[in-house]
Amino acid sequence: MDASDVGNDLENILLTQEQLETRLGEIAAQIDRDYAGKDLLLVGVLKGAIMVMADLARHLHHPVEMDWMAVSSYGSGTKSSGVVRILKDLDTDLSGRNVLVVEDIIDSGLTLSWLLSNLRSRGPASVEIASMLRKPDAAKVDVDVRYLGFDIPNEFVVGYGLDYAEKYRNLPFVGTLAPHVYSS
């Protein structure tokens, strides 16, 4: 899928496929160095992180394992409340494991800070975060992102796993939507 497949739904392309690809390669090299000789479990947060997970994992030389969680944060509309429910838990026992949480985007940071304390309570050797995107509001909550793709402006974005009403996830880049998409 590409920009031409979604008519005039896009307002702006913030990050091209090439930019995402290049940055992921750099992050993967860093992860390969940091975890050399250590076990590593990638934990993807469904559904947004599917693209980052797939591309990051393929860039890595490290023989990782992958597992998935699905969480929902209660909140009104597009704002997260920090009250989180686990919809799908991990299949993996985390005790003694090095865990790297793979996320698409950190907005308020509330979801991730809840997730971190939840995962840390399971006795892992370490828990770190890799996120492709981060919005400025994330600074309000103390979430220590070890591997970050890009800081982006405080706008709603779609593509590369991110959706609006479950659509646009399979765009290979990150962009903003034209106003008519929201109002129709």
Does 108 bind ligand XMP (CB under 6 A)? Our answer is: yes
Does 176 bind ligand XMP (CB under 6 A)? Our answer is: no
Subset of 106-145 contacting Mg ion (CB under 5 A): none
Smallest distance from the beta carbon of 158 to ligand XMP, in angstroms? 6
Long-range CB contacts for residues 141-148, cutoff 8 Å, separation at least 24? 141/108, 141/109, 141/110, 141/113, 142/109, 142/113, 143/106, 143/109, 143/112, 143/113, 143/116, 145/106, 146/100, 147/27, 147/30, 147/31, 147/100
Subset of 117-156 contacting ligand XMP (CB under 6 A): 156
161 touches 24 (CB < 8 A)? no
Give the residue from 161, 156, 184 showing the smallest Cα distance to 77: 156
> Which CB, 62 or 112, lies closer to Mg ion?
112
Residue in 9, 55, 104, 107 annotated catalytic: 107
Among 48, 109, 149, 159, binds Mg ion (CB under 5 A): 48
Phi-psi region of 123 (alpha: psi -120 to 50; beta: other; left: phi over 0): left
Does 44 bind Mg ion (CB under 5 A)? Our answer is: no
82 touches 110 (CB < 8 A)? yes
Q: With contacts defined by CB under 6 A, name the span among 6-14, 35-43, 50-58, 101-109 that binds ligand XMP.
A: 101-109
Give the residue from 41, 45, 40 showing the smallest Cα distance to 89: 45
* Annotation says 107 is catalytic: yes
Cis peptide before 47 (omega within 30 of 0): yes
Out of Mg ion, ligand XMP, none, what residue 56 binds, judged by CB under 5 to 8 A for its kind, is none
Smallest distance from the beta carbon of 29 to ligand XMP, in angstroms? 25
Does 182 bind ligand XMP (CB under 6 A)? Our answer is: no
Residues that bind ligand XMP (CB under 6 A): 48, 73, 80, 104-112, 156-158, 162-163
- Using CB under 5 A, list all residues that contact Mg ion: 45, 48, 104
Q: Which residues are marked as active site? A: 107
